[in-house]
Structure 1
């Protein structure tokens, strides 16, 4: 069950805009500006990504509805507008977001999400990665203790 408190908590990792339960917004198949394009039925909107690129919601009418993500979605062929299943249920959605927040709040966090960057790997990453109290392998393969 997604209460107002849980909705605010799971929005934190990606600074999503909370929709439900404060507002009941139903995304209908006949909507021109549909948040869940291609989905056959109505969807209860839970939250919207901080820049409005995609939204998460629950399809209405099922016994244990899964969580959907709809909008601009990246797949093997590139970016497309569509809708896909994101999690099996609200409990898994909350657990996933709690995990993400626990990772984000432990800093520093290295994310390598731009494989087509024009910079070389050696330019993007320093060979001297430091983190207090831990031994971390540097990009070059040697270890640095700090």
Structure 2
């Protein structure tokens, strides 16, 4: 972390459990810019920073790696590299991130799609059970009469 006014450099390791992360970022003063490498499990962090009013720039992992001459992964060195890239004008390889509204809509659509798949799987299974017991109703299996006929089947 660098204070742009004083140029003071500070290093801090945070545990990502409990309130330590929230307390740390909430205590920062002035305009704060955070840079992170894109990962699959960063949603909670993006939401936290958005809630705290902190700008978060998400970097392209391959382009960040390309800026490092050493190929070994090292968290402390990688953090320093991202800080250096953030400090340079147009040096941080930022990727586009959807807004919270767009993320919410995507989640809603993804969840609905999953529920429709589950419903279809259950309906297909019930149709197979009905057909195995000589109950041929097609779509009529989903009517009140069809449901009664399905419940009346003697199943093992």
TM-score, scaled relative to structure 1: 0.26
Higher-strand-fraction structure: 1
Higher helix residue share:
2
TM-score normalised to structure 2 length: 0.25
Larger radius of gyration: 2
